[in-house]
């Protein structure tokens, strides 16, 4: 281990304006090496990470509690003791890596046992990261101008630790009494003040509580998008402390079993939230995770029964109509009426890795659709299967409008980074015996609609037309061969071929009405006549042969369905 003793006779470490956020006092920016030769640290000895001494230090904080996350700042010199480091839950190398990711400039450690040394794994990790670590005789010089601010920062952390312990006890009592998110949000708002929201990971509000005036201010603030979602599309899912003019917001993840389940949000206009407030919100979020864990145990069993029941229905082995209807009622579903089958499947595209693990995509989408359907069709069945979400919902005069409403609600404005999905809708049936056929219709509508429209396709089976027949041909090469043999040069991947295909498509749609085709394409009549002659030289005399027109129409639909040169 390389060590270096540094004297304290160099120019002092200059104080600057305090940020007021609780990370410790601000300082005039200077390198870590300059800090070592200042009179702030008492007998500093550089023990690891020597290659990082050029890092810039712009603020100083004392780490008085292991859960230092809310107080970390870029450019921070963090001062702590070996006793506090010994209380860390995470491994020391992981802790240093987290400090490095957050832009912390370096770490100063006072050894509570003067004969002790830092762990070898700590030194190795610091050297690998180029993260400077020094050992000091005391936390900081009591005579330095920053000592008062550092002592105050340390005291605020300790006060927050005791307040967090009291808050946890209050909230755990709520959970032990059977309370859920709604009761917890009320308790958090009562204890912390301001407005409190509990949301999904993408910001959809699940419950809210707090001062009514604060809730009204929150509804019109920049913290929410136009649909009322908390904006979670910023760095790390919107987590942390954020300033919004004279408003402030603290956001923490609700994580259970290593999976991101939502957000706990505190919003305040009456006072400016500080790092200590974020610390309390994070501790409250940990208690909220107990509710998630409790509900997961119950819902996992229930969801398994629901999924098995729906799977049996889709495979035609649900049983007699009366038995199925009665069983469905135990889940709160009404199948004793005309229903349609709606299938939702994520589009097969890449997805950026989230900042923390989340529940499987299909389960997230199923939950979102369950919430969206609840206010529109209380008897609808919504279930997540292996790769898709299946909805059995009542038939109305505006079924497709309702489906589009559901998609718009789940998709939302701004999206929060959610994955695109396709939707297929079946015809209706008034008997459970017809559900397997409807499921096949919805799957066909989903598959073909995605091929024709692309991402976010919402397709009804009755809108497929001849595409239904084409989708039954499993040999893609046979379809593509037919299209190429029929359209010939028009299958080329050129702008000219695409333009001529468009002309042919409108001609066929207007039953070779030259005047109407010219009007729709905004061509001069003679220009279109010239194009017709050119097309017939390539494809044959389709204006005189209905069979050829049918072949050409099918070939164009194959190209559209298969995405050939689209």
- Say whether 191 sits in a helix, a strand or coil: helix
pLDDT at 296 (0 to 100): 67
Pairing of strands 45-48, 205-210: unpaired
Confidence of residue 6 (pLDDT cuts 50, 70, 90): very low
Beta bridge partners of 425: 342, 460
* Model confidence at 217: pLDDT above 60: yes
- Residues 84 and 157: beta-carbon distance below 8 Å: no
Phi, psi of 488 (to 5 degrees): 55, -120
Average pLDDT over residues 394-416: 79
Q: Grade residue 328 by pLDDT with cuts at 50, 70 and 90.
A: very high
Quick one: pLDDT band at residue 349, thresholds 50, 70, 90? low
Structural contact between residues 53 and 35, judged by C-beta atoms closer than 8 angstroms: no
Interval 282-304 mean pLDDT: 81
The C-alpha atoms of residue 207 and residue 184 are separated, in whole angstroms, by 10
Nearest-angstrom CA–CA distance, 301 and 430: 29
Which spans in 196-274 are helix H? 212-219
Beta bridge partner(s), residue 224: 230
- The verdict on pTM exceeding 0.75 is no
Please give the Cα distance from 73 to 311 (Å, whole number). Answer: 51
**Stretch 304-325: mean pLDDT, rounded?**
90
Q: What is the pLDDT of residue 203?
A: 84
Q: Is the pLDDT of residue 562 over 70?
A: no
Query: Would you state the pLDDT for residue 18?
Result: 41
Read off the pLDDT of each residue in 284-313 and give the average, rounded to a whole number.
83
Range of lowest pLDDT (93-107, 228-242, 277-291, 393-407): 228-242
Q: Contact at 8 Å (CB) between 336 and 395?
A: no
CB atoms within 10 A of CB 374: 11
Q: Note the pLDDT of residue 101.
A: 92
Query: Looking at residue 392, what is its pLDDT?
Result: 96
Q: What is the pLDDT of residues 104-142, one digit of tens each?
A: 999 999 998 877 778 889 999 999 999 999 998 888 777
Q: Measured between alpha carbons, how far is 346 from 31 in angstroms, rounded to an integer?
A: 49
Beta strands 106-110; 133-136: pairing state: parallel
The span from the first CA to the last CA of the chain, in angstroms, equals 64
**Looking at the chain, how many residues does it have?**
566
| The predicted structure's pLDDT at residue 16 | 45
| 431-460: average pLDDT | 89
Region 309-319: mean pLDDT is 91
In 375-524, alpha helices (H)? 399-411, 435-453, 467-471, 476-487, 495-509, 514-521
Strands 259-268, 339-346: pairing kind: unpaired
Closest CA to 310 of 137, 491, 442, 115: 442
What pLDDT is recorded for position 425? 95
Locate tokens 């037919």: which residue?
482
**More confident position, 294 or 22:** 294
Tell me the pLDDT band of 285, cut-offs 50, 70 and 90.
Answer: very high
What count of other Cβ atoms lies within 10 Å of the Cβ of residue 360?
12
**Cα separations (Å) of 457 from 8, 65, 448?**
69, 51, 9
Place 172 in a pLDDT band, splitting at 50, 70 and 90: very high
- pLDDT, position 17: 38
Among candidate residues 428, 425, 432, 430, the one with its CA nearest the CA of residue 337: 430
Sheet holding 458-460, edge to edge: 381-384, 389-394, 339-346, 421-425, 458-460
- Residue-wise pLDDT for 248-258, tens only, equals 899 998 887 77
- Model confidence band, residue 299 (pLDDT cutoffs 50, 70, 90): low
* 73-91 tens-digit pLDDT: 888 889 998 888 888 888 9
Name the strands in the sheet holding 56-62, side by side, starting at the edge strand that comes first in the sequence: 4-5, 45-48, 133-136, 106-110, 76-81, 56-62, 26-31
Q: What is the distance between the alpha carbons of residues 226 and 217, in angstroms, rounded to a whole number?
A: 14
Q: Tell me: pLDDT of 359 over 50.
A: yes
Mean pLDDT along residues 485-505: 89
> Per-residue confidence at 338, pLDDT binned at 50, 70, 90?
very high
Report d(CA 107, CA 134) in Å as an integer: 6
The residue whose two tokens read 């009426």 is 337
pLDDT digits (tens, 9 = 90+) for 45-75: 899 999 999 999 888 888 888 888 888 888 8
The pLDDT > 70 percentage for the chain reads 89
Are the CB atoms for 398 and 373 separated by under 8 Å? no
Task: Say if residues 267 and 195 touch (Cβ distance below 8 Å).
Answer: yes
pLDDT averaged over every residue in the chain: 84
Residue 537 to residue 398: CA distance in whole angstroms: 47
Distance between alpha carbon 337 and the CA centroid of its chain, in Å? Answer: 36
Of residues 148 and 307, the one with the higher pLDDT is 307
CA distance 477 to 479: 5
Average pLDDT over residues 181-190: 92
């Amino acid at each position: 281990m390389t060590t270096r003793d540094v004297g304290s006779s160099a120019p002092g470490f200059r104080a600057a304006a305090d940020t007021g956020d609780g990370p410790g006092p601000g300082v005039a920016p200077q390198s870590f090496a300059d800090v070592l030769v200042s009179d702030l640290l008492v007998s500093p000895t550089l023990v690891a990470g020597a290659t990082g001494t050029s890092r810039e230090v712009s603020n100083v904080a004392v780490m008085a509690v292991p859960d230092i996350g809310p107080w970390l700042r870029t450019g921070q010199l963090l001062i702590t003791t070996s006793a506090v480091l010994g209380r860390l839950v995470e491994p020391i190398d992981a802790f240093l890596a987290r400090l490095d990711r957050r832009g912390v400039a370096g770490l100063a450690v006072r050894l509570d046992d003067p004969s002790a040394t830092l762990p070898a794994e700590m030194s190795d990790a610091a050297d690998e990261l180029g993260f400077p670590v020094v050992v000091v005789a005391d936390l900081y010089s009591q005579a330095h101008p920053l000592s008062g601010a550092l002592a105050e920062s340390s005291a605020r952390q300790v006060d927050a630790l005791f307040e967090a312990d009291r808050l946890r006890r209050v909230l755990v009592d709520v959970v032990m009494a059977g309370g859920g998110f709604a009761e917890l949000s009320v308790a958090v708002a009562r204890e912390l003040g301001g407005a409190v929201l509990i949301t999904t990971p993408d910001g959809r509000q699940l419950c809210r509580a707090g001062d009514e005036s604060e809730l009204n201010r929150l509804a019109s603030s920049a913290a929410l998008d136009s649909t009322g979602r908390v904006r979670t599309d910023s760095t790390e899912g919107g987590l942390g402390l954020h300033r919004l003019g004279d408003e402030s917001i603290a956001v923490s993840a609700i994580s259970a079993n290593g999976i991101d389940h939502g957000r706990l949000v505190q919003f305040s206009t009456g006072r400016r939230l500080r790092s200590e407030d974020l610390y309390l919100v994070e501790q409250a979020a940990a208690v909220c995770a107990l509710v998630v864990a409790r509900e997961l145990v119950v819902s996992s069993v229930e969801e398994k029964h629901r999924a098995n029941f729906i799977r049996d229905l889709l495979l035609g082995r649900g049983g007699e109509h009366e038995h199925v209807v009665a069983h469905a009622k135990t889940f709160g579903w009404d199948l004793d009426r005309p229903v349609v089958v709606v299938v939702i499947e994520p589009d097969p595209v890449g997805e950026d890795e989230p900042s923390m693990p989340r529940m499987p995509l299909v389960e997230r989408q199923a939950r979102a659709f369950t919430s969206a359907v609840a206010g529109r069709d209380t008897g609808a069945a919504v279930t997540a299967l292996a790769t898709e979400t299946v909805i059995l919902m009542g038939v109305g005069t505006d079924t497709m409008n309702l489906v589009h409403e559901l998609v718009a609600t789940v998709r939302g404005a701004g999206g929060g980074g959610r994955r695109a999905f396709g939707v297929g809708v079946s015809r209706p049936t008034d008997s459970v015996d017809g559900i397997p056929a409807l499921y096949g219709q919805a799957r066909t509508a989903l598959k073909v609609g995605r091929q024709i429209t692309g991402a976010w396709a919402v397709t009804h089976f009755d809108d497929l037309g001849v595409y239904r027949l084409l989708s039954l041909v499993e040999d893609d090469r046979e379809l593509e061969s037919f299209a190429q043999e029929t359209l010939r040069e028009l299958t080329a991947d050129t702008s000219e071929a695409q333009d001529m295909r468009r002309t042919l498509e409108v001609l066929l749609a207007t039953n070779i009405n030259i005047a109407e085709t010219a009007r729709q394409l905004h061509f001069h009549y003679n220009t279109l006549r010239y194009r017709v002659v050119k097309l017939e030289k390539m494809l044959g005399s389709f204006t005189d042969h209905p069979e050829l027109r049918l072949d050409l129409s099918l070939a164009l639909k194959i190209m559209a369905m298969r995405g050939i040169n689209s």
